[in-house]
Amino acid sequence: MYALMVEGPLEEMRRLQAEVDDYAGISIAEDHEVDLWVRIRGVGISWPEAPTSVFSEIIDALRKGIQAVAEHIATGRLTTRPTSEIKEACDLNLIALRPGSLRVGMRLPIEVQPKLGEDRSLVQRSVSEYLQVAAWSASLEDEGALERIIDNPLKRRIVLNALKPIVPRPRGRIDELEISGKSVPFGRPILLLRETRKKINNAIDRTTAEKIETAVGDLREIDLDAMTFILRNVDTSNEIRCSFEEDLRVLAKKALDRRVIVTGSRKIEEGRVPYVKMRVMRLEILDDHEQNPTDGSSE
């Protein structure tokens, strides 16, 4: 009975506490203290009644994205299993939850990674590159500006694919995602929208000089050791054999036996192999898209 009686006033008490914090400057102080704020906006997404699936998906995608960038900085490549040191370095600390739209505050780990010979730790460098690309994707700057931030095409593609999982999907529950905090470049919030995906996709396509094509089919027979799969039930052909890089491993596993959109380039391989293989640069699960999957605006 007491729980039922306090349920209404409790929400009012939370609202009053938030107003007091704003008036006293506590909210502003916290905003400047926290390294990263992630605000998730969408229908039915608010604290303290936010779906755990939305929360876990975004936070895990953010962590793994920063982790991928960190691994490339540390080793020059992505591997199947990052070292425990890199995993721990990129495991951000959750320190705050704000009412209203779901807003999560995180702090970078305190430990410094001195072996890289840099003033900044590994995670600081990784977060900086990750957020610079995120800021570019949310801006009006063209691909040339991104190429000045990261001049290496392979690394540029790795960071773009690492960022993409937190960008709102065309038919997903999240309408927009905002990143702010001390670690954000120039102190300006980064606002990622559904249409941001098109800009990221175009930038991924520019990381190769080869002719780009897109195909729709069912992802079958994935080989995680050889990093290949077969695209079946394709409109233009019976099947397409595909290869992919480490930055698409997690997404390829998730897409097994599902209808997907793949974008990449193909060339006739030398030797005895009698088929044309596509080198996949980006992969999308068709469930997440509008009716016209080959239109970049819908991806």
Where exactly does CATH 2.40.50.140 map onto the chain?
A: 213-298
- CA–CA distance, 138 with 215 (Å, rounded to integer): 27
**Encoded tokens for 210:** 């080869």
Looking at residue 288, what is its pLDDT? 54
Spans of the chain, pLDDT less than 70: 1-15, 17-32, 100, 110-120, 267-276, 288-299
pLDDT for the residue numbered 220: 93
The DSSP letter of residue 81 is S
Angle between helices 122-137 and 153-163 (to 10 degrees): 80
Sign of CA dihedral 96, 131, 138, 185: positive
Q: Cα–Cα distance between 156 and 146 in angstroms, integer?
A: 8
3-state SS assignment for residue 70: helix
Q: How many Cα atoms within 13 Å fall on the side-chain side of residue 52?
A: 0
The C-alpha angle with vertex 120 and arms to 136 and 88, in degrees rounded to 5, equals: 90
Measured CA to CA in angstroms, residue 37 lies from 17, 59, 170, 177, 270 at distances of 20, 11, 23, 10, 50
pLDDT at 143 (0 to 100): 87
CATH topology of domain 213-298: OB fold (Dihydrolipoamide Acetyltransferase, E2P) (2.40.50)
| Segment (H or E) for 63 | helix 52-75
Instruction: Give the whole-angstrom CA distance, residue 236 versus residue 60.
Output: 36
